[in-house]
Structure 1
Amino acid sequence: MSYRIARLRRRCRPLLGQLDLPHPFAIETLCAHLSAYRGRPLHLHPLPDQAAVAGACGLWIATDTDDHIFYEQRTARSHREHIVLHEIGHMLLDHHATTGPALPGGPFAELFGDLSPRLVRRMLARANYSTRQEQEAEMLASLIRTGETGTGRHRRPMDAYGKLHAALGVSTDDEL
């Protein structure tokens, strides 16, 4: 494993220990847990069609009181879940947008619906994975989905991936 990947894993693993990953995994259960953990509602929304024109497949909007995650709806369920987990990664890693797409009149202004752009504190929407923030969010999403617990050991999820890992004897314990 490359040094860069190992460094990303080390950055993300401590956050995993704070999560109560549902077993079997369910994105809705994880979102309910995160909402309680953060003390603020977490809402999931399908991403409006016009967002594809702006190059987004998912985004996280944080207001003063709530979190909103938008995901591409015209893709496989597993991909939708990964998009949500990626945005959860941004949220847990406390990433901030480095540009101002949340400004009124910006390319994402139509997505707000009932949200006043003045209430939006953070909005992340990305189209590539070349930045450190994107790589961290992607790593955390993958670790959550594979059942990592933050201790370097996997929970034994009962889904197809967990059964395949168990059958093949795959473990991430030796990867660092």
Structure 2
Amino acid sequence: MLVEWGMEHGCGIDELHRYLSESRRRTIHLIPTSFPERHLLGLWLKLDDFDVVAFEKSASPAHKEHIITHELAHIAFEHRGSVPLDQTSSGPLLSNVDPAGVRGLLMRSRYSDDEEQEAETMASLILARATKRWVEPAWAVPEEAADVVARIEQGLGKAEPQ
């Protein structure tokens, strides 16, 4: 895949992020947040018009790179995930996100899953070839994702219901 993408000799998160957004014709928003569960560090939400990759904002810079690259690898492989989104299984994390508006949700559930191993391997290959380190930009909520971000934050207990 890296050869196909023209990245066999190296790339960074910015290049991969841009490539996947352009090739899929879908914006991917990278959103730092605090997850209430210690074992959850990242997730990918596939919505009607765009994607959201949320990552643990308190992680070290190198760990953030790995989390984001792992989630982007899931997107590249078009993984389906093993955690269905419905009101009973999502718990408080996504209780305010309407399942009808979400086309897919991918959260890490078990590292033994084939999809998880594939994403971990791809993330490691990409980061081993990274030509520059990722610098987290100053972040503002993108207008098209504002409602989703508010619902995620509300589900995480970070915001009051609107």
Q: Normalising by structure 1, what TM-score?
A: 0.64
**Paired residues for 1:10-49 under 5 Å:** 15-21=1-7, 25-49=11-35
Structure-1 residue corresponding to 2:40? 56
Match of 2:101 among 113, 116, 119: 119
| Amino acid in structure 2 at the alignment position of 1:48 | S
Which range moved further: 78-87 or 20-29? 20-29
1:33: Cα distance to partner?
2.4
SS at match of 2:44: strand
TM-score normalised by structure 2 residue count: 0.69
Could you say if the C-alpha distance between residues 158 and 112 of structure 1 is closer, same or farther in structure 2, counting changes exceeding 3 Å? same
Letter in 2 for 1:65: D
SS at match of 2:29: strand
Residue 90 of structure 2 corresponds to residue 104 of structure 1? no
CA positional deviation for 1:116? 3.4
- Identify which of 132, 138, 146 aligns with 2:120: 138
Among 83, 89, 102, the residue aligned to 2:73: 89
CA–CA distance in 1 between the matches of 2:54 and 2:8? Answer: 21
Q: Indicate the RMSD between aligned Cα atoms, in angstroms.
A: 2.7
- Say which SS state the counterpart of residue 57 (structure 2) adopts: coil
Structure 2 residues not aligned, in runs of 5+: 134-162
Deviation, 1:35, is 0.8
Give the conservation status (yes or no) of the 8 Å contact 2:45–2:52: yes
Mapped to 1, the partners of 2:91 and 2:71 lie a distance apart of 16
| 1:48 CA drift (Å) | 3.2
Letter in 2 for 1:136: E
**Match for 2:73: what amino acid?**
G
Q: 1:106 to 1:30 in 2, by over 3 A?
A: same
Structure 1 stretches lacking a partner, 5+ long: 1-14, 149-156, 160-176
The structure with more radius of gyration: 1
8 A Cα contact 1:61 1:68, kept in partner: yes
User: In 1, are the aligned partners of 2:81 and 2:115 still within 8 Å (CA)?
Assistant: no
Say how many residue pairs are matched: 133
Shift of 1:105: 4.7
Q: From the superposition, tell whether residues 70 and 38 of structure 1 become closer, same or farther in structure 2 (CA, over 3 Å).
A: same
